[in-house]
Amino acid sequence: MTRTFPRNVGKFDRALRTALGITLLLFALFCPFAARQGALTVWASGLVGAVLLVTGLSGGCLLYAALGLSTRRD
């Protein structure tokens, strides 16, 4: 039996997560300031950006699910 991941992220939340995710990924990949700060800054902003982008595009957030939260209106 396949269990689908619940969609618990609303439209505004999804748009914000997607925009922030793209911004952080671009910051990590192309910003000279990030590179001067060190590898930890690049990796952390890249990882957070990737997580935000995936949750924004998929509409599901594991943290919201674990806490029983939802910003989605049915």
Contact 4, 60 (CB under 8 A): no
Cα(35)–Cα(58) distance, rounded to whole angstroms? 29
pLDDT for 39 equals: 93
Asked whether residue 2 carries a pLDDT value surpassing 60, the answer given is: no
Average confidence (pLDDT) over 21-37: 94
Contact partners, residue 2, CB within 8 Å, separation at least 6? none
What confidence score (pLDDT) does residue 46 get?
A: 96
**pLDDT for the residue numbered 42:** 94
Domain spans of the chain, in order of start: 18-67
**How much is the pTM?**
0.87
Sign of the CA dihedral running 57, 63, 66, 67 = negative
